[in-house]
Structure 1
Amino acid sequence: MGRLEIQRGASVLLLAVLLGAGFARADEPDVPDWAEGWKKTWLQAYENGSVQMTAKVTPRFLGNSRQDVFAVLELRSLDFPTGEAPAASVVLVIDRSASTSGRRLLIAKKAALGVIDGLSDKDHLSVIRVSDKPDVLPIVPMTPENREKMKARVSEMQAVGRSDISAGLDEAFDELSKPTESNNYRQVILFSDGRATDGMVDQDGLAAVAREAREQHAIHVNTVAIGEDADLDLMAGMAKEGWGFAATLNDSSVTGRISMRRQLDLIRRAATNVELRVKVGPTVTLEEVMGLDSAMQGNLARIPVGEIGPAEVVRVVLHLTTDNVGTEVRPIELAQVELGYSDALTEKHRTQNLTVQAVLNPAKAKGREALDLDALKIASRAFVERRTARADEAAEDGNTADVKDILDKNRESLKQMGSLARLEIADAMALFEKRSNEILLEQNRPQPKPDLFTAKKTKAKPKKKTKKKH
């Protein structure tokens, strides 16, 4: 081969390498400017999504008789910097009308107290209690003294009167429109069953109120629908127009998620519109979902998670029972789980599917080796949180006999869980004793006198334009 042919061959090879490199660069996605400092993490989100789901089961081995099984679903997001969250001015509007009496008001109070605990020292807070007339605690900085004052006013609330949600929102907007709040991120969180009786009561009108607050005052309206019979459409409509989150709460053991969702509104998130869908296997019964609120129908469950922040871990526990699974050693499909979400880093819709399994093996089903000890520890604590919450709700509804029955059954269930792994459920046992003692002590206390609106009472105001029906 001559020198000319060798040079030509080398040139062709060099051209191929350069073209290949060019094509490789063309295929590589453009990393946004805001992610340049953590490019590798962003590319990982681009390839695989910002949230991943895993599962573990206890017991891992099943017998051929009826038994309880716990599946722990874990959602874990990528870690990335978010910067410092801005100071927030927050108004909690809490419907404490007669329709929220009992467990509904208990759920609302626990969620509101969680939000107050989650506020930073640089934040501001107002609490407005809605009944016939709004009862306003004016917005103040979150000093230790003010924090305790606000928590006390929430804790002592009792259900009374009718529900004028629009009047409460008007007061909230007035508080957030004060000059002292102009530089803060402004948020309203409405806790209600959505059953307004006075003022603006129609869905479109209340949504227009939220939209006007957003457009004219940069106020974000979030809603938390309390109770199984809440008007979900009305509450969700307000949140949509107010560019806020819409949550539902039917369980006082999962109220802490509301505080987290409020905080995630202030920073860059990993994912939004996160939801789990669960379908259990043919020989399996879905008894309950623990850790997050859910909508169950037969052996199907929809579990809205909402938003997930950076480096966050969200756990959901499925309480399942199995029966008539046979005797042959084989894998048993417990559930099919689908995770769906909007990836906030790459603006893609993502899905991930997972099959949750255990192994039918009666010979291995009775010993300690059948257990996943980490899953047992997580599940036992979730079990206690759910059962003591039910007892607390029963006490709030005045069902004294139910309280004792729930606590007694919980104690027996914990003994069975810990028969082979007592050390692993020690935290759950300690939590159970603490919470049961608190519930029984609270149950034996005399009921407080009716709330007479001892905080600032607002004078009747002329109807605003937003209150006119269209």
Structure 2
Amino acid sequence: MNKTVAFVSLAAGLALTALVLGLPHLAPPHPATPVEPPRPASASNGSLTMTSRLSHPYITPGSTDLFVTVDITGVEVPGAKRTPVNLAVVIDRSGSMSGYKLQQAKQAARHLVGLLGPEDRLAIVHYGSDVKSLPGLPATPANRERMLQYIEGIWDDGGTNIGAGLHAGHSHVAASRGDYSVNRIILLSDGQATEGITDDASLTEIVKSIRAEGVTVSSIGVGTDFNEDLMQGFAEYGAGAYGFLEDAGQLASLFQKDLQQASTSVARGVALTFQLPEGVMLGEVLGYRSSQEGRTVRVPLPDFSSGQVERVVARVTVVGSRAGSAVDVTGLKLAYTDLLKSAGVESAASLSAMVTERREEVLARQDKDATVYATRAMSAKNLKLAAQALREGRKEEAKGYVMQNEVLFNEAGAVASPAAVAADLEEQRAVLQEYEQASDDESVGAAVKRTKSKAMKSFGKLGSTY
């Protein structure tokens, strides 16, 4: 690592450490102010529960950066009873899928057919330069046999026309969308779009339009050649899940997992809203798309299945005034369509911080869980930077970002406990080792994709990242 990179990495690491630990703006010790400590807020009016907390329930007078963490959890449905699904599986059968990959994709599709019942509907689409498909059919015994025969006839051929595959999958799902509460496309690809629509923005617009009509899109990338940023974007804009598989032999388990998630759905059209009081400024929502209008920040979230958990971490700047007073930090609203109630639902909560002049009180009251969650989200930013640097051949810079994360987690461990971050530290060390061993295009590509998947989970996309 050259001196410039080392200096920048160290400076950034120290800045992140100070932010996570809340070290700025702390006054000298002062007699304790007897106040009731703010507590995590929980709210649930339907199939989703929202639990929110502050990294620093106590702050000092003046401007302070802190983190808001919000966990959203889908209700556990006894037995996770399946809801009938209207599904299209869209399989890349371009030349690069030839041999083992296509064999495994066909095996996964056969396995998926075997999991369906007469109340489910399945369309099978495969694309190369052109697109061929078996229109959606109820998965009756006779139709399942027809589907299996169709899968057997899929062959590898041509380029990669992802856009045409998505359009075909959507048309088949849309034909029966009104008869189902769960409509979903599972897209599989091992490469870059080379034919038809090839630019990322236009392909993403296709997914946005599909989602606008109530159809969810999940994306699965296989191997080391596909565009992971594009496929992750498909899942994000499509409100579905993203998976990366280096080995196509795991496809059957991922198809099954996505079917389980789709068929135990409890909420769709989920959006989390932050209402910022005057004087509170949003720094960023880490790892999620967000839009701000006035003092309202909206964060769209994926569809939720039974037991699914997603976490949102946001950094805000708050101004504390008089010691002993409370400062409103944010109002929260979770809005969604509750599939168990067949109705729209909203839940609300609010978070506030107490102002104190005592340094030791700020540190003693720091929320241990929220500190760890915030550290993971900040580490995910570094992982994305590391992946990009590695892809561009700047291995030492990439390793520097990962080493910053080790500093962050050690500092968070001093607040929470070493055990609370032990797995995180081990993960960072594993990334460093992988970077050391990445010596050719394939191993670098795999390391980049694994790092970006780790980043998604660290941001809080726990249930929507396979």
TM bracket (short chain): 0.5 to 0.7
Give 2:73's match in structure 1, choosing from 76, 79, 90: 76
Equivalent position to 1:278, from 274, 290, 305: 274
**Contact 1:341–1:351 under 8 Å retained in 2:** yes
RMSD: 5.2
Change (3 A) 1:416 1:251: farther
Which AA in structure 2 matches 1:211? S
Which residue number corresponds to residue 151 of structure 1? Answer: none
| Cα distance in 2, alignment partners of residues 398 and 430 from structure 1 | 24
Which one of the candidate residues 137, 153, 170 is aligned to 2:102?
A: 137
Distance 1:280 1:70 in 2: 13
Q: Match for residue 362 of structure 1?
A: 357
Look up the equivalent residue of 2:81 and give its one-letter code: G
- Residue identity matched to 2:106: V
Separation (CA, whole Å) in 1 of partners of 2:358 and 2:444 = 61
Q: Distance in 1 between matches of 2:351 and 2:188?
A: 31
CA distance in 1, matches of 2:379, 2:443: 31
**Within 5 Å, which residues of 2 pair with 1:169-318?**
170-171=131-132, 182=147, 207=167, 210-212=170-172, 215=175, 220-222=184-186, 229=201, 231-239=203-211, 243-245=215-217, 257-258=241-242, 262-264=258-260, 266-290=262-286, 293-297=288-292, 301-318=297-314
Distance 1:450 1:384 in 2: 20
Q: Deviations over 1:293-320 (max 9, x none)?
A: 3225597543222221223332222233
- In structure 1, C-alpha distance between the alignment counterparts of 2:169 and 2:306, rounded to whole Å: 33
Q: Which ranges of structure 2 fall in alignment gaps of 5 or more residues?
A: 1-43, 112-125, 152-158, 193-198, 220-227, 244-253, 446-466
Is residue 328–residue 361 contact of structure 1 (8 Å, CA) maintained in 2?
Answer: yes
Structure 1: which 5+ runs fail to align?
A: 1-46, 94-126, 147-164, 187-196, 452-470
- In the alignment, structure 1 residue 338 sits paired with structure 2 residue 333: yes
Q: CA deviation at 1:340?
A: 0.6
Deviation at 1:400, TM superposition (A): 4.5
Taking structure 2 as the reference length, the TM-score comes to 0.55
Q: Kindly state the Cα deviation for residue 54 of structure 1 after the two structures are TM-superposed.
A: 1.9
User: Of the candidates 24, 29, 52, which is equivalent to residue 49 of structure 2?
Assistant: 52
Q: Count how many residue pairs are aligned between Structure 1 and Structure 2.
A: 336
Aligned 8 A contact 1:213 1:242 in 2:
no
Shift of the 414–431 alpha-carbon distance from structure 1 to 2, 3 Å rule, reads same
Distance 2:184 2:399 in 1: 42
Is the 8 Å Cα contact of residues 61 and 362 (structure 1) preserved in structure 2? no
Q: Using a 3 Å threshold, how does the CA distance of structure 1 residues 89 and 435 change in structure 2: closer, same or farther?
A: farther
Contact 2:268 2:336 (8 Å CA) reproduced = yes
| Deviation of the 1:417 alpha carbon | 2.9
1:64 to 1:257, Cα distance in 2 relative to 1, 3 A? farther
**Shift in Å, 1:429:** 2.5
Q: 1:64 aligns with which of 45, 52, 61?
A: 61
Secondary structure of 1:426's counterpart equals helix
2: CA distance between counterparts of 1:316 and 1:346? 25
User: Tell me, what secondary structure is at the counterpart of 1:362?
Assistant: coil
What's the offset of the Cα at 1:350?
1.0
State, as a whole percentage, how many aligned pairs show the same letter.
Answer: 16
Q: TM-score, normalised by structure 1?
A: 0.55
- The amino acid that maps onto 2:306 is P
CA gap of 1:59–1:437, structure 2 versus 1, over 3 A, is farther
C-alpha contact 1:58 1:371 (8 A) present in aligned 2: yes
